[in-house]
């Protein structure tokens, strides 16, 4: 303990002096990448217009070019990320080693783009190397440098900033998984990177991510909720029926959320105060909610909602509402779970309810509130689900609850309670859905998709488990 | 359960005490509820309390009943098996396709299906025991995996046109009682006796109460866990076979949601989801109560969808009553 403390103090004192030139490498490379991206059209020869961004953007309707513009976005993204990492590295030199590893990923993404670009050129039977402008050469060089720079010798970072420690986070692993998926599937079939596809994947499944955050709150306290699927189905129909029967759109959006909180409170009260195991309560609620849904709808879909109702189809700043909701709720939940009193209490109760009680936390209140928060997130998820298509199905997607629980678990939430984050849950939901979409793009037979997905889930869970155990052994 | 932990005066319990304890046990409460339900439902419809209807219901509950037996074992050890429905479907598909597509003789196809069932359960068990994956997570993953395999192998098509003798188990009768009821009764009695009287059976309770303690007491915890998960897969396979025999066709989505029915029945039967308590008797009553409620309500004109509301409510209420009784007994 003392050793760690002294080394921390020591490295803090070093921090100012250890701002060696190496620290600036990622920042410089990121800036070069961004300059290359923005200046590209001007330094290229105008007659080779096909390589310039404005022309590509002007032809956005063309699907083939869509691939290239999306590739360019990839380039832009990698530039921004690497620049941001570079700023972090300058601000906090001790993370230098981690940043250098992450910068490699930026380089790989950038090079991926060139592979896609090259393939596209070859398809059009043009000579890639004659038509490429100086801007591209600069950027290729930057990308290669991003990968090579990892070999530069560096000082020993503080324990907290060691590469292994950083990579030991489930969140980092998930991000790496998503990047790897984008790169591998993107090279096999560039259409996967098409903006429309990626947005579809994010947008169509944002509600799963939102529900997975709520689920992770519940699982962190050592409980579980297997009724979310039915609840989402029911709340979605309530929302649709309300607006069809003339209720204002605002009511149709907010009432399901309130009902969700109410149902959460009911489940939470049974679990916390009457001490019925959560798996039993929610198993019962699963049947009850599903039954109500089927009887009430009679299996009929809800249609004829007014245009204003479709919240999930609206866009702000070019990004659709579900994606905004997902991002904002993830950030809020992450901050709340990490810093608020109740947020920390969730972990305390999940880790050891008796110890939490003796430290003056009321486990009952915490569990009740956890279920209410889950109800809130389920309500939001239901509204997103209800407003995304012109019809609301009478039955929610089959095994939705299992998918949501899987997302929470793959996101690093321990089913035994006490561990897990909101960001992990969201990333896992994104990764799982991306895998599903990617399998279509690499021509896996639709009949085998579920089997492949099941295997991948199993592998992820096992990897997480083994990694966590190794971490524990290391201490 | 709580009461037994208190130091007690060493006096033989009187008959009245025993009766009181029996009536207050989960099985007792459930039995009383079942009787009341039967009486109520029989007043609603005259066809309910007839031998032919009850036997027919027995036919329908056989699959859930068979899977509920190993599930009781598993839940007593504090585990859970969510993959039973998927194993059920996978075995049905293996049976149909190994016979129709791969040209296996039918008995070999049945054997293969049962073997695959056992193997699927074994895979669950080996990961739970060796890698120490929590059972909920492991079986959640294999729920997706096994269902995916069923879907992939069948490619969405179904097998039908089985020979006449194949339907004996699912549709035939032996001494005027549906064949699968005999099978269910035999398996129930055997599993009940094993659980209640053998070292193996009692060890399951020990594992459920305190796994580490059981390990330090020299019980072969890992081997026992592996055995019950394999048993669970095997019984799911058998149930799948009976189901195919009953409905004469195979589909890859067979048994979807079976796990919830089975777990509901087991938990309703008084097996604590936290492990350490429970009995086969309770499970049997749980299975019967759920089936009778479904049937009775259907006969009374309630749609089958409404019955799942009733079942959900009964499930929550019965556990709630059980909790309150425990508090009462402890006081």
In the block, tokens 């799982």 appear at A432
Q: What's the pLDDT at B233? A: 93
Who wins on pLDDT, A201 or A4?
A201
* Structure confidence at residue B147 as a pLDDT band (50, 70, 90): confident
Q: What is the mean pLDDT of chain A?
A: 76
Nearest chain B Cα distance for residue A386, angstroms: 22
Mutate: best of B84, B132, B144, partner A, most A CBs <10 A? B144
Query: Do A465 and B140 lie within an 8 Å CB cutoff?
Result: no
Mean pLDDT along residues B297-322: 76
Mean pLDDT along residues A408-420: 74
Whether residue A10 is predicted with pLDDT greater than 50 in this model: the reply is no
In the block, tokens 């009940």 appear at B192
Mean pLDDT along residues A340-369: 83
Q: What's the pLDDT at A131? A: 52
Who wins on pLDDT, A45 or B248?
B248
CB of A276 within 8 Å of a chain B CB? The answer is: yes
Q: What's the pLDDT at A381? A: 92
Whether residue A56 is predicted with pLDDT greater than 80 in this model: the reply is no
The pair of three-digit structure tokens given for residue B31, joined into one six-digit string? 């039995």
* Structure confidence at residue B274 as a pLDDT band (50, 70, 90): confident
A contacts of B81 (beta carbons < 8 Å): none
Whether residue B266 is predicted with pLDDT greater than 70 in this model: the reply is yes
Mutate: best of B263, B294, B308, partner A, most A CBs <10 A? B308
* Structure confidence at residue A9 as a pLDDT band (50, 70, 90): very low
Burial call B158-175: b when 16+ CB within 10 Å, e when fewer = ebeebeeebbebbbeeee
Chain A: residue nearest B303 by CA?
Answer: A295
Lowest model confidence (mean pLDDT) among A106-110, A451-455, A471-475: A471-475
Chain B: residue nearest A459 by CA?
Answer: B141
**Highest mean pLDDT: which of A385-399, B71-85, B167-181?**
B71-85
**Which residues 363-402 of A are in CB contact (within 8 Å) with B?**
398-399, 402
Helices and strands in chain B, H and E counts: 14, 2
Query: Do A288 and B141 lie within an 8 Å CB cutoff?
Result: no
Note the pLDDT tens digit of each residue in A373-412: 999 999 999 988 888 887 878 777 777 887 888 888 888 7
Note the pLDDT tens digit of each residue in A231-264: 998 998 888 888 888 878 788 888 899 999 999 9
Query: Do B131 and A398 lie within an 8 Å CB cutoff?
Result: no
Mean pLDDT along residues B104-118: 87
Mean pLDDT along residues A96-110: 78
Q: What's the pLDDT at A52? A: 43
* Structure confidence at residue B53 as a pLDDT band (50, 70, 90): confident
Query: Do A448 and B263 lie within an 8 Å CB cutoff?
Result: no
Query: Do B144 and A405 lie within an 8 Å CB cutoff?
Result: no
Please give the ipTM for the structure prediction: 0.74
**Highest mean pLDDT: which of A121-135, B77-91, B306-320?**
B77-91
Query: Do A294 and B131 lie within an 8 Å CB cutoff?
Result: no
B contacts of A276 (beta carbons < 8 Å): 316, 319-320, 323
Q: What's the pLDDT at A109? A: 77
Who wins on pLDDT, B298 or A424?
A424
* Structure confidence at residue B1 as a pLDDT band (50, 70, 90): very low
B contacts of A458 (beta carbons < 8 Å): 141-142, 145
* Structure confidence at residue B237 as a pLDDT band (50, 70, 90): very high
Who wins on pLDDT, A397 or A434?
A434
Mean pLDDT along residues A32-48: 58
* Partner residue facing A451 (CB), from B138, B151, B323: B151
Query: Do A280 and B316 lie within an 8 Å CB cutoff?
Result: yes
């Amino acid at each position: 303990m003392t050793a760690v403390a002294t080394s921390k103090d020591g490295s803090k004192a070093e921090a100012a002096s250890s701002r060696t030139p190496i620290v600036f490498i990622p920042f410089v490379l990121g800036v070069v990448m961004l300059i290359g991206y923005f200046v590209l059209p001007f330094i290229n020869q105008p007659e080779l217009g096909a390589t310039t961004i404005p022309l590509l953007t002007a032809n956005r309707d063309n699907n083939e070019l869509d691939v290239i513009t999306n590739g360019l976005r990839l380039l832009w993204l990698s530039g921004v990320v690497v620049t941001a990492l570079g700023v972090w590295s300058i601000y906090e030199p001790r993370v230098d080693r981690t940043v250098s590893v992450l910068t490699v990923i930026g380089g790989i993404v950038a090079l991926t783009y060139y592979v896609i670009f090259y393939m596209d050129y070859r398809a059009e039977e043009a000579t890639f190397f004659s038509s490429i402008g100086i801007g591209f050469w600069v950027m290729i060089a930057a990308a290669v440098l991003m990968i090579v720079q990892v070999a530069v010798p560096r000082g020993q970072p503080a324990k907290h900033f060691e590469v292994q420690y950083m990579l030991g986070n489930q969140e980092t692993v998930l991000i790496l998984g998503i990047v790897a998926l984008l790169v591998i599937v993107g090279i096999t079939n560039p259409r996967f990177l098409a903006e429309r596809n990626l947005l579809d994947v994010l947008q169509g499944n944002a509600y799963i991510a939102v529900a997975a955050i709520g689920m992770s709150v519940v699982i962190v306290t050592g409980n579980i909720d297997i009724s979310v699927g039915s609840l989402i189905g029911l709340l979605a129909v309530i929302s649709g029926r309300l607006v069809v029967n003339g209720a204002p759109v605002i009511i149709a959006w907010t009432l399901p959320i309130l009902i969700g909180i109410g149902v959460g409170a009911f489940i939470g009260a049974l679990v916390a105060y009457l001490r019925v195991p959560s798996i039993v309560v929610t198993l019962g609620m699963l049947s009850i909610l599903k039954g109500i849904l089927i009887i009430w709808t009679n299996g009929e879909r809800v249609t004829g909602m007014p245009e204003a109702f479709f919240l999930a189809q609206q866009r702000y700043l070019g990004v659709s509402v579900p994606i905004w909701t997902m991002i904002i709720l993830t950030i809020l939940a992450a901050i709340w779970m990490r810093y608020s009193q109740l947020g920390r209490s969730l972990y305390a109760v999940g880790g050891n309810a008796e110890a939490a009680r003796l430290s003056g936390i009321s486990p009952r209140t915490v569990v009740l509130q956890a279920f209410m928060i889950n109800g809130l997130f389920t309500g939001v998820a239901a509204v997103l689900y209800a407003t995304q298509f012109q019809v609301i199905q009478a039955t929610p997607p089959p095994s939705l609850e299992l998918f949501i629980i899987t997302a929470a678990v793959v996101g690093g939430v321990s089913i035994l309670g006490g561990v897990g984050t909101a960001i992990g849950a969201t990333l896992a939901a994104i990764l799982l859905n991306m895998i599903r979409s990617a399998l279509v793009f690499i021509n896996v037979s639709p009949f085998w998709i579920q089997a492949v997905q099941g295997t991948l889930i199993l592998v992820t869970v096992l990897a997480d488990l083994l990694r966590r155990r190794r971490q524990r052994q290391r201490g | 359960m709580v009461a037994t932990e208190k130091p007690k005066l060493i006096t033989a319990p009187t008959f009245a005490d025993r009766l009181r304890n029996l009536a207050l046990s989960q099985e007792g409460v459930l039995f009383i509820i079942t009787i009341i339900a039967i009486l109520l439902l029989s007043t609603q419809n005259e066809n309910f309390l007839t031998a032919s209807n009850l036997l027919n219901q027995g036919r329908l509950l056989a699959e859930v009943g068979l899977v509920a037996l190993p599930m009781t074992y598993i839940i007593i050890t504090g585990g859970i098996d969510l993959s039973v429905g998927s194993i059920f479907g996978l075995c049905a598909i293996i049976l149909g396709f190994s016979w129709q597509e791969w040209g296996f003789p039918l008995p070999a196809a049945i054997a293969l299906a049962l073997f695959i069932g056992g193997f699927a359960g074994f895979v669950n068990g080996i990961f739970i025991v060796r890698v120490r994956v929590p059972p909920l997570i492991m079986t959640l993953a294999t729920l997706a995996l096994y269902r995916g395999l069923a879907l992939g192998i069948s490619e969405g098509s179904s097998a039908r046109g089985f020979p006449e003798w194949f339907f004996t188990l699912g549709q035939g009768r032996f001494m005027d009682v549906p064949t699968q009821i005999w099978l269910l009764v035999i398996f129930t009695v055997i599993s009940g006796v094993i659980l209640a009287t053998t070292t193996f059976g009692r060890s399951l309770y020990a594992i459920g109460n305190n796994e580490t303690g059981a390990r330090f007491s020299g019980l072969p915890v890992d081997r026992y866990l592996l055995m019950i998960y394999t048993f669970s897969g095997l019984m799911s396979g058998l149930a799948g076979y009976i189901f195919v025999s009953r409905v004469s066709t195979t589909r890859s989505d067979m048994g979807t949601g079976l796990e919830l029915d089975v777990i509901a029945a087991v938990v309703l039967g008084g097996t604590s989801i936290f492990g350490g308590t429970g009995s086969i008797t309770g499970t049997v009553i749980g299975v019967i109560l759920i089936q009778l409620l479904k049937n009775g309500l259907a006969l009374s004109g309630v749609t089958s969808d409404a019955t799942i509301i009733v079942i959900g409510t009964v499930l929550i209420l019965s556990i709630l009553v059980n909790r309150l009784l425990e508090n009462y007994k402890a006081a």
